[in-house]
A and B are shown apart, each in its own frame.
Chain A
Amino acid sequence: MELLKKLTQAFGPSGNEQTVRDIITEEIKGFCDETKVDTLGNLVVRKYGGGKKLMLSAHMDEIGIIATVIDDKNFVHFSEIGGVKINALHSSKVKFIDGTIGIIYEKSEKPTKFSDLYIDIPNICKGEGLYNISVGDTAVMASEFNLSGDFVSSKALDDRVGCYILLETLKSITKPNYDLYFVFTVQEELGLRGAKTAAAGISPDYAIAVDVTVCDDIPGGGKYPLVLGKGPAIKVKDGSVICHPEIKRLLADTAKAERIDIQYEILDKGGTDAGAIHTTGVGVATGALSIPTRYIHTACETASISDIKNAVKLLSKVCGDTL
């Protein structure tokens, strides 16, 4: 799990995926035939195989914040990047790219918008010096990587866990069944943006997006039936896509043959890269495989290691012969 730790601890708010991309670029060396970074910053990794094009995607970016105003007392005012929850930020720490830690607190009681919060960087020195934060700088939630039994907690499991699964899948394949494209996308949290242009560049026949999904098996939950540790989830629908029956079948049949437990995911709202991919060009038969995750978009996203391993096994079998 060292790789997952490295990936989740890396700095990569939407639009600033460079660090994550560098880690992945290093990891794939020797396992692929072609790599390319496109205009928006998506990393497209190709492994030659015969026949139809299958695109697997996971997004590199995570939610975060962006400094908009630094006032004359050096307090930082900010906006959110992606679907950040106010409660998850309040009274917590954020980390800038250079490691600077900021403390978030409220300007007014019961904050309801991000302008009700500010960041205090005690040692900030505007313009020069040790801590140098400027307007437009971004930060992510500061958090430890915790492993405990079958469970892993960290920031940015959404969607570094997807990146991890793609990497492990790529490494395990000996003989591809398809012309494989492993795509590490940008700006998913801002509206599935990277996946859209990446898919336009590839024009795949099939696509599978790998991401986290809401796991609601917690006190006060229960609306969605997913349970942590009961297997990766084959997406049926969310707010952005209704998955293609062929891809659902492919995933389900492979799982059955390999005796991998799976669950089915149905979300009313929210979206993943699959949403952007399936309406690209003349249309792409698209599905998604999700890792049930508790506390998404907080500093302590929690998932099951066995679900993650099963997802790797399942995807590898879908993609080709494996080690």
Chain B
Amino acid sequence: MNQPLNPETILVTEPDTKQAETQLWLASKERSNMSLLRIMSWISLKMGRSVGRLFLHPISAYFLLFSAANRQASCEYLNRALARRATFLDLYRHFFWFASTIHDRIYLINKRFDLFDIEIVGKEAIRQQLAEGNGLFLMGAHMGSFEVIRAIGRQIPDLRVAMTMHEENAQKINAMLAAINPEAGQDIIGLGHIDSMLKVRERLDDGTVVGMLADRTLGEEIMTPINLLGDVALFPNGPFRMAALLRRPVMFMAGVYLGGNRYQIHFQPLADFSDIPTGQRAIAIQNAITTYASLIEQHCRKTPYNWFNFFDFWRPAQTNNTQ
């Protein structure tokens, strides 16, 4: 509410019902995921990744056939990203990619990095930022796997990433991590408290990297409409406001799945709020969100099956514009 309300900025006050439904679906899916995950985790660790992957086909097919809303969202997204009509095979791949990255979490959380072929693009850029020692933000999206980014500790030893997320999700993820590997749940910061922001600041002061997924809103906050894959979508201002306030550099991160056992991690410079005067903060935030959206678009074009927002990402913007 501190942003000067320019015409470019829309305040979303009422949660979109469609989005609420999606979240309900995600929540129920998350619940069944927990027991499914325990069973899958056991099978996968006992019998190996290739046996575990056999189960991913019926799981992907099930969701593709019986979850119409997600299938439609996937189809609309793929039409945009592929710039042609998506085929059934495209849809199947999209769902299979999602299932694969969730499945691979089991191995990544258990530090079975030996199973994967992980390439890092932009290693030098992030190494330079880490060398400054002032901490930085890594902004990702619901794209590919952020678990794979934990894997790179091997190659970039000073990289400690604390992920921020909504408190409820944080608890769920912590429970999930604890179920798979008790040592793994230490570095999640829950958002939505007064304390959480102070925690973020303390971690940055230690030189820790703070990771966020900046493509979905946490609720009532200022959104910025930006063109993504041909139409306007709404992006939350919050993550970038936080980075601006704490005067830190921001890099984009994505851990995209390339099929088989191959992942590719990208680090790309996004913005640097270290020396932005207070008066220029608002415009710097707008510029950063624009850059963020263009980086997302770039990856959607290059590795289209990695986009894991299975709801109509564009619809809230269209609803708002016609009001």
Chains A and B belong together in one complex: no
CB within 8 Å of A: which residues of B? none
| Residue ranges of A at the interface with B (Cβ–Cβ < 8 Å) | none
